[in-house]
Structure 1
Amino acid sequence: MVDATEHDLVPEHTLVDEEDLEAVLDEYDIDRTDLPKIKRRDPAIRDLDAEPGDVVRIERDSRTTDRAIVYRLVIE
């Protein structure tokens, strides 16, 4: 079976701690629930043991900015 987290096309996913998350939410003046969603069973975050309500930081390559960082709220 292929491990999705090791695939070249899957960007790096990490859990965001509460302190860093508050800084991001304050910077953009949004609530946690305003973030795009990602399902808890998504293969890319399976090894993170993420629970609903956690936030995942995704770093991917970008043609225009070298690295693009996006945040997703984990849902059931």
Structure 2
Amino acid sequence: MVNVSEHELVPDHTLLDDPERVEEVLEEYNVKRTDLPKIKRSDPALPDEAEPGDVIRIERDSRTTDRAVVYRLVVE
């Protein structure tokens, strides 16, 4: 079986497992956790240890900024 998360076109998905780092991100963007865009737990690109309620950092290539970073809230 193919591991989708290792495909070259799938951006890096990193679990933010430090609660302080999550709070820094939420404060930086002046949002609540529930205001973040959602990503389903069943998404094959997610790390195996991701659970509903976790925050994921996604880094992808960007033509304008070289690397774009976005955050998603894991939902069921």
Structure 2 length normalisation: TM-score?
A: 0.93
Residue 10, structure 1, aligned to residue 29, structure 2: no
Cα offsets for 1:7-33 (capped at 9, x unmatched): 011000011121111011111111000
Structure 1 length normalisation: TM-score?
A: 0.93
Count of residue pairs brought into register by the alignment: 75
Structure 1 stretches lacking a partner, 5+ long: none
The two structures, once aligned, show a CA RMSD in angstroms of 0.9
Residue 44, structure 1, aligned to residue 18, structure 2: no
Kindly state the Cα deviation for residue 2 of structure 1 after the two structures are TM-superposed. Answer: 1.4
Trace 1:33-72 onto structure 2 (pairs within 5 A).
33-45=34-46, 47-72=47-72
Whichever residue aligns with residue 35 of structure 1, its letter is: L
Cα offsets for 1:49-76 (capped at 9, x unmatched): 1111000000000000000000000000
Contact 1:15 1:50 in 2 (8 A): yes
Structure 2 stretches lacking a partner, 5+ long: none
Contact 1:14 1:48 in 2 (8 A): no
